[in-house]
Amino acid sequence: MGKGRAPCCDKTQVKRGPWSPSEDLKLIAFIQKYGHQNWRALPKQAGLMRCGKSCRLRWINYLRPDVKRGKFTVEEEETIIRLHKALGNKWSKIASRLPGRTDNEIKNVWNTHLKKRLTTERSSNSSAHESKLESSITSLSSSSSESESFFSNERSNSPNSTTLGNEINDQASQVTDKIEEDSNKQVSNELISITKDPKESSISLSSVEPNIVTTSQNVAYKAEEQLASPSSYLGPYDFGSISQEVDKPNHLFEIPWELSNFDFCNQLFDDDSLGGSFQSNEVQLGELPASQNIILGEKIVQEIEARKWSHDFENEFGLLSETKKPNNDHFLPKDYAIEPEMDNTQTFDFNGIARPESEIDFSYIQLWSSWP
């Protein structure tokens, strides 16, 4: 064995392209139980034919329980615009100020919406009459960050800036100078707070940028609310905020919070036929042959599918008692509510096997039921 670390992965044997529901499930189940200390080793251990890099990306951008989906709020967009002005394309830095948003998502929003919008506003404003400029300046003074960004850029970047500058009267110049000065101060302060390592920084965000903190606090509060109220938080594919969702398939099924009691994974890992290799977190996953890991992943998926259809069957033939019916049907498509609400103390008997209490939290797992 030579120097350095082991090779990343066999590029010829990894799957690429869109992730399937079963792959998502395998990844979520594995990370829930074992975490992701080593992305390189994870795919093999989880039974995924994916590069570790791909797994990391999928987890961070899509499957993480705290990832926030849906349209960006006006406050978030303004924050992005401000931070982009200060930092440029430092998407991860910007994302760090927007809890629940990923750098990839922010990057996409910037490239598809914000950049375009700012360009449009610039061009429309550059052809405006003096009176309109004065009007804009008036509105700028009311601390619209987006407009601040536009205006300061306009003055410095527009080819017509000299001509325009001659048209602007002294009073307007004074106002814009003040705005730019304030804006630069604000940007500088943001830069300080962002570029400093949070662990080392003692700078209070609230002391430098009230608007951003307000936004962040809102987002943080919502995130906390979601975590504190499991029944209202459905994770990445949130039916509760479906009205805010864009470009999402309509047919989803969800694994409700209650399902964590079933912990079929635990049962699978305890299965004697697998040599009990997964009986505790102390087990070295690397010791398990890859083929067995793949079998484990497949079994997880199969069991979820079986549960889903079992439930559908019960619904179809009226075998589901009223007391067992889910109380969250209002946000779930009828056909895809997998399991009824369960007594937390009862163990789930699937195919005659009593299930132990769960260690894995599947509460936020939702999957596309129809995959292209």
Q: Is 199 a residue that touches DNA (CB under 7 A)?
A: no
**CB 110 → DNA: shortest distance, Å?**
9
The DSSP annotation for 212-264 comes to: HHHHHHHHHHHHHHHHH-GGG--TTS-GGGGGG--S--S-EEE--GGGGGT-H
Q: Is 54 a residue that touches DNA (CB under 7 A)?
A: yes
Q: Binders of DNA among 221-280, rule CB under 7 A?
A: 246-247, 249
Q: Is 97 a residue that touches DNA (CB under 7 A)?
A: no
Q: Is 38 a residue that touches DNA (CB under 7 A)?
A: yes
Q: Which is nearer to DNA, 19 or 30 (CB)?
A: 19
Q: Is 19 a residue that touches DNA (CB under 7 A)?
A: yes
Q: Is 64 a residue that touches DNA (CB under 7 A)?
A: no
Start-end of H helices in 6-88: 21-34, 42-46, 52-58, 74-87
**CB 317 → DNA: shortest distance, Å?**
32
Q: Is 5 a residue that touches DNA (CB under 7 A)?
A: yes
Q: How many residues bind DNA (CB under 7 A)?
A: 44
Q: Is 111 a residue that touches DNA (CB under 7 A)?
A: yes
- Distance (Å, whole) CA 372 – CA 361: 27
Q: Which is nearer to DNA, 228 or 246 (CB)?
A: 246
Residue 360: count of CB within 10 angstroms of its CB: 22
CA distances from 110 to 83, 153, 212 (A): 11, 17, 17
Please select the residue that binds DNA; options are 6, 284, 318, 344, rule is CB under 7 A: 6
Please select the residue that binds DNA; options are 21, 52, 99, 326, rule is CB under 7 A: 52
Please select the residue that binds DNA; options are 103, 154, 209, 258, rule is CB under 7 A: 103
**CB 247 → DNA: shortest distance, Å?**
5
Q: Which of 256, 241, 219 is nearest to 366 (CA)?
A: 256
- Distance (Å, whole) CA 128 – CA 293: 65
Q: Is 174 a residue that touches DNA (CB under 7 A)?
A: no
Q: Is 56 a residue that touches DNA (CB under 7 A)?
A: yes
Q: Evaluate whether 263 touches 360 at the Cβ level (below 8 Å).
A: yes
- Contacts of 102 by beta carbon, 8 Å cutoff, 6+ apart: 60, 61, 67, 95
Please select the residue that binds DNA; options are 34, 49, 107, 191, rule is CB under 7 A: 107
Q: Evaluate whether 335 touches 234 at the Cβ level (below 8 Å).
A: no
Q: Per this entry, what is the length of the chain?
A: 372
Q: Is 122 a residue that touches DNA (CB under 7 A)?
A: no
Binding site for DNA (CB under 7 A): 1-8, 15-19, 37-40, 52-54, 56-58, 61-62, 89-93, 103-105, 107-109, 111-113, 116, 246-247, 249, 372
